[in-house]
Structure 1
Amino acid sequence: MQFSRRSLLASTGLGVLALGACSSPNAPSGTGGEASGAEGFPVTVATKFGDVVIEQPPSRVVALGWGDAEVALALGVQPVGASDWLAFGGEGVGPWSAGRYTNPPTLIATLEPDFEAIAALQPDLILDVKSSGDQERYDRLSELAPTVGVPVGGDSYLTSTHQQTTLISQALGKPTEGQALLDKLDSAFTEAAEAHPEWKGRTVSAVTRTAETWGAYIEGSERVQFLERLGFTQNPKIAELPVNEGGFSVTLSTEQLRRIDADLIIAFPIYVETTKISEDPLFTAVPAVADGRAVVMDGDLSQAYSLATVESQLFALDKLIPQLEKAL
């Protein structure tokens, strides 16, 4: 079966629509988190859709892209509306961002956002930085407020952590704070890699399982980049396979599952129980798995690893490294 971009996006909640409540246009819910300490307005942000000019520090931000709300929160700005891609519920963010809202945001659906609900929030800035890059979606959002969409090359949720953090921090007038976040992440990866020189050059497969099929991520995807920053290299047997639409994954038939064998295997489920991986006889027969060199992730760790914001990756590093040490 085709291991499509849409099914892969569902691995981290992209298929789950976090349905948001509508407010009266005259009384939008929530309070804005104006970009205090903002630098140098007006600012210009370069995107795939052209330059976006933001005249003054925004006070009513709606964050729709994958992880965009978490980035805004890390920069000290509370969105009044946000999309809950990973179906956390509540405030729509993971534990790495918990407790940062004074008032919870209105939750907006993900793949098919409610434009009337967004308009009711009276936004003065919309963030859709890590999203599909669809022109029609962008056009409709930009009618409501200045919208920072995907960067060049960022279609199909391929906006990188660096790009996402940089664009959002520019839009909020907080480029210094954005760079500080990226520096913190760089330091954490460098420290972890230097503490484990034995990982350098060892091969890794980043694998997932849906109810329909198996799949793996390829070099250039953030899930593989995360592991490469620790010193690992992409399993060349995965790299040989044809890439799915969207550009960051391959499909694996059961006959091809042996291709995931590597020095290390990282795996996580997509809308199936973890046991669908850990107790699958085809998976357990892979030599690396049989040898104990596999980590099957679930819950907060899987979500943090997949979300790939600065703070979710710091969370994932803290949780995953002890498991890697045990596996290797």
Structure 2
Amino acid sequence: MNRDSRILRRSLGAVAGGLLALVLVGCGSGATKGGGDATAAGQADPGAFPVTVETQFGSATIPKAPQRVVALGWSDQDAALALGVKPVAIVKTEDSFKNGVGPWAEQALGDARPQVLDTTDGYPIEKIAALRPDLILAVQSGMTSADYDKLSKIAPTVGYLKGRTTYGTPWQEQTELIGKALGRGKEATQAIAAVDQSLAQDAAKYPQLKGKSFVYAYPQPSNGRMVLYTDARTKVLEQVGLTLDPVVSSAPKLNSFSNALSMEHLGSLTSQALLVWYGTPENQQQLESNPVFKGLPAVTSGAYLPVNRTLAQASSAPSVLSIPWSADQILPALAKSLH
């Protein structure tokens, strides 16, 4: 199930070579089979432990380099993998993901096989405890105070920072927090810099994107509206020069990560580029057959990009591994139609 589908339900009722070479430095070939010890390539930064990480619900003190990491955030495993640590368990995001990770993380995962936890009905506390973790990551998560109380009794638990919303941690901060918890702050800084450099190179490669307006949306026919995103996925696109269309900010606020536009006002989506991900093929067919939708500027100019579930997952929870992969899927297609 895509992250957005689950959050909305609760709220409303191969990686670029340069980066991969950096984040996989020193990765070993050891596997994590059936919940075995995490493979931790390389070494922690000198003097990194013990370390205390202060987050929204309390502090987590990690006495030494963790060997059995459980990643409960939606892309926390990406950050850990990028820093050379292979978790013993991760959360289920998409049924189609082989070994539980997106295609952008498969090389970093290697032959490790973490247990994939279904958190649809909450965190499976007994299963997590049975894994005997020495660190639980829940940075890009919907963890509550009650969840934290249970999880922190099992192992030091690193959630999101005070003041952040659920699933609302910027990818840079996520990487920094996880890097600190793993004792790999230097590698985290390098990984963030590599992604920033990659996006800067994309901006230079596709100058036609600069200043062009865009909307990233999700149709909800049953509710008669379009969800217009304002979260991390739009921030990444802004980093390469695109500009979020004013229609998004003027639409009524839906939740912490999106606004909503009534289908009656579909014609107001006059942005130069339009990205839409769909929960079902039927939703896509219904929207694309709408005469108003067909006449939108982005659609008539060819700057409309239907986003599949894999790409939607990658962009909705961007990470140091998924961002370059997503950029390769999105930017060339948009640049081709934007002049």
Q: How many residues align?
A: 310
CA apart distance, 1:35: 6.3
CA apart distance, 1:50: 3.1
Is the 2:71–2:138 Cα contact (8 Å) retained in structure 1? yes
| 1:84 and 2:75 correspond | no
TM-score, normalised by the number of residues in structure 1:
0.87
Q: Secondary structure at the match of 1:310?
A: coil
Q: Which residue of 2 is the match for residue 140 of structure 1?
A: 150
CA apart distance, 1:79: 0.8
| In structure 1, distance between residues paired with 2:227 and 2:209 | 20
| In structure 2, distance between residues paired with 1:275 and 1:89 | 24
| In structure 2, distance between residues paired with 1:284 and 1:142 | 51
- Give me the identity figure in percent: 34
| 1:52 and 2:47 correspond | no
| 1:217 and 2:228 correspond | yes
Gaps of 5+ in 2: 11-32
CA apart distance, 1:11: 7.1
| In structure 2, distance between residues paired with 1:8 and 1:56 | 32
Larger mean CA deviation between 192-201 and 260-269 belongs to: 192-201
Q: Which residue of 2 is the match for residue 29 of structure 1?
A: 35
Deviations 1:63-102 (A, max 9, x none): 0111111221111111111102233444100111114243
| In structure 2, distance between residues paired with 1:97 and 1:196 | 25
Is the 2:277–2:309 Cα contact (8 Å) retained in structure 1? no
Q: Which residue of 1 is the match for residue 118 of structure 2?
A: 109
Query: Which amino acid in 2 is paired with 1:98?
Result: E
Deviations 1:93-123 (A, max 9, x none): 0111114243311111224121100010000
Distance 1:138 1:307, change over 3 A: same
| In structure 2, distance between residues paired with 1:7 and 1:80 | 22
Q: Which residue of 1 is the match for residue 25 of structure 2?
A: none
Q: Secondary structure at the match of 2:254?
A: coil
Give the counterpart of 1:259 among 265, 268, 276.
268
| In structure 2, distance between residues paired with 1:14 and 1:75 | 32
Q: Secondary structure at the match of 2:53?
A: strand
Give the counterpart of 1:176 among 169, 177, 186.
186
Gaps of 5+ in 1: 1-5, 16-26
| 1:10 and 2:9 correspond | no
Q: Secondary structure at the match of 1:98?
A: helix
Q: Which residue of 2 is the match for residue 317 of structure 1?
A: 327
Distance 1:197 1:275, change over 3 A: same
| In structure 2, distance between residues paired with 1:90 and 1:199 | 33
| 1:305 and 2:315 correspond | yes
Q: Which residue of 1 is the match for residue 141 of structure 2?
A: 131
Is the 1:278–1:296 Cα contact (8 Å) retained in structure 2? no
Distance 1:14 1:98, change over 3 A: farther
TM-score, normalised by the number of residues in structure 2:
0.84
Distance 1:250 1:295, change over 3 A: same
Deviations 1:153-205 (A, max 9, x none): 32221011011111111111111111111111101111111233332222111
